Amino acid sequence: MTELFDEVVGQDRAVAALRASARRPVHAYLLVGPAGTGKAAAAASFAAAMLCPTAGDHATAEVCESCRRVLAGLHPDVVQVEREGASIGIGAAREVIRGAYLSPVEGGRKVIVLHDFHLVRDTGPALLKTLEEPPPTTVFVVLAEFLPPELVTIASRCVRIEFVPLSAGHVIEALVAAGVPVERATVLAEASGGRLERARLLATDPEFEARRQAWWSIPSRLDGSGASAARMADELIALLDDSVAPLKLRQQAEVEALTERNARNAEVVGSGRAAKGRVRATKAALNAGVADLEERHRREQRRQRTDELRTGLATLAAAYRQKLASTSISQAMEAVEAIGCVDRTVKSLEFNPGELLALQALLARLGRTG
C-alpha cells in the first residue's frame, strides 16, 4: 500500500477533482460511470483523504494510520452501504438517515458511501432530504453506474464526478506492470469486461481458464433434455462456488493481518489500564474491526459470484456468436435466438439473483433452440 488513488487507473480527471475536494468537501458527491471503472477504489481513497490529518498529502511514500484503516475498511467514521438484494431497501435507507445524524467517532467528519445507487428505486425520495442537507459533519459519496430519471433530483444536489469506461489497453497495461505476461493479460482484460479489480483477481486464479472452457463447451453438450440442462446448471453452480477460492485466500490474509494488529493493540491497552478495566479493554482491542471486516468479506464474496456468473454468460454468448460465421442460415438464426436468451438472462439477474433457477431455465431454452 503506497499512496491514495494508486488503485484507480485511467481516471485522471476524476482523481484530480477528488484530490482537490478533499480539504474542503461539500455535503455530497456523485461518482457515476460503468461498473469496474474504479469508483469504489476512488471513493475509499477520497474518504481516506477527507479524514486524513493532511488531506492525503503524506510526507512519506506510505499512507498514514488513518488512511490505512479507511482503505482496509476498518475506520469507524466511514460507513459503506450496499444493497442486500436487488436494490437498497427502505430499511437500509432508514439506517442511512439515522447514521447520518450520529456524531463521528474519532474526528470531526464521517463519510457515508452509498453503492449501486442506480438501483435505489422507491427509497430515493426517503433519502433526498438527508442528502440535500446532511449534518455539517457528514459527507455522502454516492456511487452509480448510470443516472435513471427518478434520481435526477438527487443528482442535482451532488457534485458530479464522471468515470469513463476503461479501455482494454488500460487493463492490460496495469496487469503487465504487476508482472502478468502480455498474452495472459490480454485474455484477462477481455474476460473482466474492462474491470481492473476483477482482472487482478482472475490473474491469481489458476482455475480461471478451466471455468472459461466449461462455459464455452455448453452449446456442444446440450442435447435438448431437461436432465442435461439440470445437470449442467449444477456443474456451473459448483464452478461459481470454486471461483471464490482466490478471494478467500486474500481475505484470509486480511484477517490474519487484522488479528496480528489487534493483538499488538490489546497488549498495549492491557498494560496501560487499571486492573479493574483491563480485561474488558483488552477483549475490545482484540475484537476491534472484526465484525466489519467479516461483513465486507461476505459482500465481496457475493459480488465475486455475480461477476463470475456474468463472465460465464458472456463467454457463452461469445460461443454462440462464433457460430454465426461458420454455420448455415438456419443454424445462424438459432445462434441469434440463443444469444438473445443469454442477454435476457443477464438482464434478469439484476432483479432476480436466483442463480440456479436462472441457469436451469436458460439452459432448457438453449437446448430447445438446437
**Is 310:342 a contact under the CB 8 Å cutoff?**
no
CATH label of the domain that carries residue 133 = 3.40.50.300
Residues 35 and 86 in one domain: yes
Domain membership of residue 6 (yes or no) is: no
Is the same domain home to 170 and 82? no
Q: Average of pLDDT values for 243-260?
A: 86
Distances, alpha carbon 106 to alpha carbons 53, 101, 103, 109, in Å: 12, 15, 9, 8
The grid cell for 167 is 479501455
Residue 89 sits in the same domain as residue 221:
no
One domain for residues 42 and 58: yes
22 and 103 part of one domain:
yes
Share of the chain above pLDDT 70, in %: 87
175 shares a domain with 228: no
Same domain for 45 and 138: yes
Residue type, 364: A
Q: Phi and psi (nearest 5°) for 332?
A: -65, -40
Residue 260 has pLDDT above 90, yes or no: no
CA 39 – CA 340 distance, rounded (Å):
30
pLDDT tens by residue, 79-129: 988 776 556 667 778 888 888 898 998 888 999 999 888 877 666 777 888
Q: Tell whether 3 is covered by a domain.
A: no
End of a domain among 289, 324, 358?
Answer: 289
Does residue 348 belong to any structural domain of this protein?
Answer: yes
Please tell me the predicted confidence (pLDDT) of residue 1. Answer: 46
Task: Check if the beta carbon of residue 123 is closer than 8 Å to that of residue 150.
Answer: no
Of 264, 289, 314, which closes a domain?
A: 289
Residue at 240 is within a domain: yes
The residue ranges of DSSP E strands in the chain, in sequence order, are 28-32, 78-81, 110-114, 138-144, 159-162
Determine the pLDDT at residue 302.
Answer: 84
Check whether residue 88 and residue 228 sit in a common domain.
no
pLDDT at residue 265, rounded to an integer: 64
Residue 5, domain member (yes or no):
no
| Domain presence at residue 65 | yes
Cα–Cα distance, 311 to 304 (Å, whole number): 10
CB 198 within 8 A of CB 41: no
Total domains, the chain: 4
Task: Give the span between the Cα atoms of 124 and 117, in whole angstroms.
Answer: 9
Residue 2 placed within a domain: no
| Structure confidence by residue, pLDDT tens digits, 24-44 | 999 999 999 988 889 999 999
Which of 202, 230, 262 delimits the end of a domain? Answer: 202
148 and 172 together in one domain: no
259 shares its domain with 342: no
- Say what the pLDDT of residue 288 is: 60
Domain span at residue 264 reads 246-289
Predicted confidence (pLDDT) at residue 163 exceeds the cutoff of 80: yes
Residue for grid cell 476512488: 42
pTM above 0.75, yes or no: no
Residues 132 and 223 in one domain: no
Same domain (yes/no): 221, 356:
yes
**7: in domain:** no
